Amino acid sequence: MENSVTIYSTPVCHFCQAAKEFFKENNVEYTENDVAADADKRQEMIDLTGQMGVPVIKIGDDIIIGFDEPKIKELLKL
């Protein structure tokens, strides 16, 4: 079963870039929300996590704050 992957990020966030590179390298499709440009998605991220730090990565129903590669691999079964 494929989990949908969403990343809440900003253009200047180093860990966001690292996470997106990781997804590309592993052929993981993802939806990106630029919370610097999109106030609705920023609020959605704050509602999910209670904080402003990026990246926030949502895999299925799991929320990962920051680029936690081992956790991402576990959730995506990579």
Separation between Cα atoms, residue 20 and residue 32, nearest integer Å: 9
Q: What is residue 1's predicted lDDT score, i.e. its pLDDT? A: 45
Give me the chain's average pLDDT, please. Answer: 95
β-strands 5-9, 31-34: how paired?
A: parallel
Q: Supply the pTM of this predicted model.
A: 0.93
Q: What is residue 46's predicted lDDT score, i.e. its pLDDT? A: 97
Nearest of 21, 7, 20 to residue 64 by alpha carbon = 7
Specify the CATH number for the domain of residue 12. 3.40.30.10
Domain region containing 58: 5-76
Q: Which residues of the chain have pLDDT under 50?
A: 1
Q: What is residue 53's predicted lDDT score, i.e. its pLDDT? A: 94
C-alpha distance from residue 71 to each of 40, 41, 61 (Å): 27, 23, 13
Instruction: Name the domain count of the chain.
Output: 1
